[in-house]
């Protein structure tokens, strides 16, 4: 996955160095409006972790020394990815974080990937701007299911995008989300659904993207 184009580079970020005091870091966080910022070494090249506003306030409220360096409250030191990391690595690393630090091939701090940027990548996978209908098709996960459902759909329409999700909670353990092109008519969509269900696929949801984008 090429993420360089969606990473916010270091030069555009608010950061602090590891020798910055908690008091100064709090001033920087208040002025910037961010809830946390990256901590870098004195050269500005090595990612040390993140400093969070709420942790500084908690420390201050408990009578803590505000002249201590930010490393005293450093978090997420091991939470980072590389420019060539896979989507799965990115997705499972970022989790609850507001952003994930991104390192280059030399393990130097390159920038950050935010949650909102990641969501944009996911929305592009759905091909929302180029699609008309999104079908969520439930199946049992048998060998050949994906090939069979795409064969049925391809008789009536091209496929703009396809994503599969494994749920494993009931008899329909897999959800396949297929987006049909923007010029797909309601009649074609209905025909596809009928033929899918004749082959024992369960169309759990049909979303009209044209209607959704107007709301």
pLDDT, position 125: 62
What's the pLDDT tens digit per position in 177-202? 899 998 999 999 999 999 999 999 99
pLDDT, position 33: 94
Q: What is the mean pLDDT of the chain?
A: 89
Query: Is the pLDDT reported for residue 116 higher than 90?
Result: no
Give residues with Cβ within 8 angstroms of 79, minimum separation 6: 49, 50, 93, 97, 100, 101
How far is residue 187's CA from residue 183's CA, in Å, rounded to a whole number? 11
Strands 109-114 and 8-9: antiparallel
* Length in residues, the chain: 215
pLDDT, position 76: 95
Phi, psi of 192 (to 5 degrees): -60, -45
Q: Which CATH class is domain 127-209?
A: alpha beta
* Residue boundaries of the structural domains of the chain: 4-120, 127-209
For domain 4-120, say whether CATH 3.10.580.10 is its number. Answer: yes
pLDDT, position 1: 52
What's the pLDDT tens digit per position in 51-92? 999 999 999 999 999 999 999 999 999 999 999 887 778 888
pLDDT, position 59: 98
pLDDT, position 87: 75
Cβ contact 41:6 at 8 Å? no
pLDDT band at residue 164 under the 50/70/90 scheme: confident
Output Rg (C-alpha) for the chain, integer angstroms: 23
The mean pLDDT value for 156-163 works out to: 90
pLDDT band at residue 214 under the 50/70/90 scheme: very low
Which one is predicted more confidently, 15 or 97?
Answer: 15
pLDDT, position 121: 72
How far is residue 210's CA from residue 212's CA, in Å, rounded to a whole number? 6
């Amino acid at each position: 996955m090429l993420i360089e184009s969606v990473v916010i580079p270091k030069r555009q970020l608010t950061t602090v160095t590891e020798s910055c005091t908690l008091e100064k870091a709090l001033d920087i966080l208040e002025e910037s409006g961010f809830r946390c910022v990256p901590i870098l070494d004195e050269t500005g090249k090595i990612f040390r972790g993140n400093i969070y506003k709420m942790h500084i306030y908690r420390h201050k409220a408990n009578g803590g020394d505000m002249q201590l360096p930010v490393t005293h409250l450093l978090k997420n030191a091991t939470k980072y990815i590389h420019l060539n990391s896979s989507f799965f690595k990115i997705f499972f690393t970022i989790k609850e974080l507001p952003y994930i630090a991104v390192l280059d091939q030399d393990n130097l701090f390159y920038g950050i990937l935010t949650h909102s940027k990641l969501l944009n990548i996911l929305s592009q996978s759905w091909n929302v701007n180029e699609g008309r209908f999104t079908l969520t098709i439930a199946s049992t996960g048998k060998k050949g299911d994906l090939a069979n459902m795409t064969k049925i759909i391809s008789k009536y329409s091209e496929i703009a995008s396809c994503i599969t999700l494994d749920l494993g909670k009931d008899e329909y353990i897999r959800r396949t989300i297929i987006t049909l092109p923007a010029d797909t008519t309601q009649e074609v969509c209905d025909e596809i659904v009928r033929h899918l269900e004749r082959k024992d696929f369960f169309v759990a949801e049909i979303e009209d993207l044209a209607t959704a984008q107007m709301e």
